[in-house]
Amino acid sequence: MNRRTVIGLGAVSLAATMLGLCPVTAFAQQEIDEAAFLALSQRLTGRNELNATISARALAALSAGDEAFLKTAMRLAQAIDQFGLTDMRRFRDFAAAHPDLSPAAMKIISAWYLGYTGTPEGEANHDDARFVSFAGALMYEPTIDVTIVPTYARGKTDYWVTPPASLASD
């Protein structure tokens, strides 16, 4: 994944407009389903290609920690459609208009970026944290041309002595 592509996806309004063409909520459902959650996730992360398997896992993790989540997420999706939120640069405005729904939006975005839901406790084994993804966590995409997803090798021993090629523009 080229980081320019990634950042480009978020920044170029064309992509956002394309996403905006397909409403997240096709029917007046009560609870969000996997397809609608995937569409909602795409909107919230500004990415038009997200993995459906990870999406299903994120939905399962979020709803396991919160009985009302399926309904809240559905209301969030409907509100986003009504608000016409196609460009996440306008999220602050949306959040101000929907303070009851923005925490759910942040939970979904966090699940995709961090690869877990809940709050891991540093020095305890009992918490509500749930796994969503690791190599697929979006937080690694913006830097993947320079650093790694930990555990996965980048190259030869001592490659780290020379700075990355992008240094001058970083």
Partner 1 sequence: MRGIISAVSTAFSVLLFTSQPAASQDGDIDRLIERGRSVAIAGDCMACHRTAEADGKPYAGGYTISSPMGPIVAPNISPSKEFGIGNWTETQFVDAVRNGVSPGGYLYPAMPYTAYRGMTDQDAHALYVYLTKGTKPVDEAPQAKTDLPFPFNQRILMLGWNVLFNSAIPFQETAAAPGGHERGKYLVDTLAHCGACHTPRNLFMAENNDSYLAGGDVGGWHAPNITSDAVSGIGAWKNEEIVAYLKHGNAAGKSQAAGPMAEAVEHSFRHMPDTDLEAIATYLKTVPPVRAEGQTTPGFARSDAKAADLGQLDYGIDRDPKAMETGTSTNGEQLYVSACATCHQVNGKGTQDHFYPSLTNNRAVGGMTSNNLVMAVVDGVHRKTNDFTVQMPAFGEELSNAQIAAVSNYVLHRFGNEDLHVTEANVITLRNGGEKPLLVKATPWLMAGSVALAAIMLAASAFVWSRRRSRKHAAHEANPGDLQPLKR
Partner 2 sequence: MASQFDADVIVIGSGAIGTNAAHLLAQRGKSVIILEAGEWIPRWKIVENFRSSPRKNNLNDPYPNFPWGMSSFDEDYIENTGNFNYVPYQLQLVGGTTWHWAAATWRFLPNDMKMKSLYGVSNDWPMEYSELEPWYDLAERNLGVAGSDTDDQSGRSGPAHPPRSAPYPVPAEGETYYFQRLKARIGAEGYSFIHEPNGRTNKPYDGRPACSGNNNCMPVCPIGAMYSGDVHARHAEKAGAKIITDATAYKLEKGEGGKIIAVHYRSSTGADVRLTAKTFVVAANGIETPKLLLLSDVANSNDLVGRHLMDHSGISLIFTADEPLWPGRGQVQQGAIFKWRDGDFRGQHSAIKHAPHNNVPNRDVAELLLRQGVVGPELDERIRHMSARWVVIESMFETLPHATNRVTLSKTKKDALGIPTLSFNYDLDGDAYVERARDLCMDDYGNFVRAMGGTVINDKTGWQNHAHVMGTVMMGTDPKTSVTNHEGRTWDHDNLFLATTGVLPSSSVLNPTLAGIALGLRTADIIAREV
Residues that bind partner 1 (CB under 8 A): 51-57, 131, 133-136, 151-157, 159
Q: Is 149 in the site for partner 2 (CB under 8 A)?
A: yes
Choose which of 14, 64, 148, 165 interacts with partner 2 (CB under 8 A).
148
Nearer to partner 2, 49 or 123 (CB): 123
CA neighbor of 77 nearest in space, from 64, 65, 59, 89: 59
The alpha-carbon radius of gyration of the chain (Å, integer) is 18
51 binds, among partner 1, partner 2, none (CB under 5 to 8 A by kind): partner 1
- Tell the smallest beta-carbon distance from residue 85 to partner 1 (Å): 26
Sign of the CA dihedral 104, 130, 61, 6? positive
For residue 100, the tally of other CB atoms under 10 A from its CB is 10
Which alpha helices (H) appear in the chain, and where do they start and end? 3-11, 13-21, 34-45, 52-64, 69-83, 91-97, 102-114
**46 and 10 Cβ atoms separated by less than 8 Å:** yes
Q: Is 153 exposed, middle or buried (0-12, 13-18, 19+ CB in 10 A)?
A: exposed
What x-and-dash track marks residues 8-47 binding partner 2 by CB under 8 A?
A: --xx--------------------------------x-x-
Which of partner 1, partner 2, none lies near 120, with the C-beta cut-off 5 to 8 A by kind?
partner 2
Of residues 57 through 116, those in contact with partner 2 by CB under 8 A are: 87-89, 91-92, 95, 105-106, 109-110, 113-116
Q: Which is nearer to partner 1, 35 or 131 (CB)?
A: 131
Q: How far is CA 19 from the centre of its chain?
A: 15
Footprint on this chain of partner 2 (rule: CB under 8 A): 3, 6-7, 10-11, 44, 46, 87-89, 91-92, 95, 105-106, 109-110, 113-118, 120-127, 129-132, 134-135, 139-143, 146-164, 167, 170
